[in-house]
């Protein structure tokens, strides 16, 4: 696949001279997959306010609302025949069916969230963590709800030499408000690739569909996702670190449905971190210890950015 993203955002940290934070953003995200092309054009506004909890009643995290509007373009769709599931040998042009059923769409999503960030460094953290818990309600051409949690924690294992262990967990589930609506493929969930489970091809940790005649398998996506990542980094010289990691996770076909058999993946590997200011580079070499049948391996992966 080919990916291209444009984003612009501005933040006012003290709206109306209060501790109310306002962020306004606009974006264009383009994805060119083998089976279809996807373009998302959208804008969003987020407000967040510090919250206090018993017993200390000290500020601990932020409670916020995010309202976004998005136009989705679903183009250049593969019209080949695929087997509709893993048990039936009936075939359909399943991606064309998705286009006919959902096609281009306009969505409005309201998200309520709580987030907390106490990392010691936003770029290369050595202790602390970041958490977000959220719920989405979406309307427009597609109506659905989504629940999720993301948590990442950093531990200084050997302070003198700045050895750091990072542990991360991500869990999400999504479903339409009615069974007749369904969840379109561009809102379903996938794992695999440099930002989730290294060692497996991008989006290949998910339910797959086989092209009629055999040979090729295409990512079809699911409605429940669970992912764990552990990474240990060791500084070598300035702006260079070595990493050892393991990733595991699964994507289930239905809501609240974790599949630890057919779509479960577990990988391990080593990597290099080039901490170039404003242009950090991650080079990873990984191998699957377990992967879904028909998922493709991806031994080497490359990415740019601080966030894993």
Residue 261 banded pLDDT, cuts 50, 70, 90: confident
Mean pLDDT, range 267-286, rounded to an integer: 95
Report pTM: 0.92
Mean pLDDT, range 220-242, rounded to an integer: 96
Q: For residue 58, what are the β-bridge partners?
A: none
Q: Which domains occur in the chain, in start order?
A: 2-304 (2.40.160.50)
Spatial separation of the C-alpha atoms in residues 304 and 5, rounded to whole Å: 13
- pLDDT of 27-75, one tens digit each? 999 999 999 999 999 999 999 999 988 888 888 899 999 999 999 999 9
SS3 content of the chain, % helix, strand, coil (to 5): 5, 60, 35
- pLDDT of 108-154, one tens digit each? 999 999 999 999 998 899 999 999 999 999 999 999 999 999 999 99
For the chain, give the percent of residues with pLDDT over 90: 81
CA of residue 107 relative to chain centroid, distance: 19
């Amino acid at each position: 696949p080919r990916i291209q993203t444009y984003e612009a955002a501005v933040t006012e940290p003290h709206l109306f001279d209060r501790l109310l934070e306002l962020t306004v953003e606009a974006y264009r995200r383009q994805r060119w997959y083998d089976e279809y092309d996807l373009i998302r054009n959208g804008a969003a506004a987020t407000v967040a306010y510090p919250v206090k909890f018993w017993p200390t009643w000290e500020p601990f995290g932020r409670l916020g609302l995010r309202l976004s509007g998005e136009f989705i373009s679903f183009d250049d769709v593969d019209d080949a025949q695929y087997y509709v599931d893993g048990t039936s040998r009936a075939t359909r042009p399943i991606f064309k069916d998705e286009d006919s059923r959902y096609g281009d769409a306009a969505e409005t999503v309201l998200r309520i969230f709580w987030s907390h960030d106490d990392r010691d460094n936003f770029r290369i953290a050595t202790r602390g963590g970041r958490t977000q818990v959220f719920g989405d309600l979406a309307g427009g051409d597609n109506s659905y709800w989504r629940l999720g949690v993301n948590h990442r924690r950093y531990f200084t294992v050997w302070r003198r030499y700045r050895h750091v262990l990072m542990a991360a967990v991500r869990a999400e589930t999504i479903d339409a408000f009615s069974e007749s609506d369904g969840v379109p493929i561009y809102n379903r969930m996938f794992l695999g690739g440099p930002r989730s489970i290294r060692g497996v091809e991008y989006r290949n940790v998910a339910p797959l569909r086989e092209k009629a005649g055999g040979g090729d398998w295409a990512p079809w996506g699911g409605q429940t996702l669970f992912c764990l990542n552990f990474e240990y980094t060791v500084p070598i010289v300035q702006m260079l670190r070595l990493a050892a990691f393991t990733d595991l996770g699964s994507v289930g076909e239905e809501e609240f449905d974790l599949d630890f058999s057919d779509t479960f993946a577990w990988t391990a590997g080593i990597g290099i971190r080039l901490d170039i200011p404003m242009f950090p580079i991650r080079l990873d070499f990984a191998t699957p210890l377990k992967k879904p049948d028909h998922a493709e391996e991806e031994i080497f992966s490359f990415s740019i950015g601080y966030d894993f």
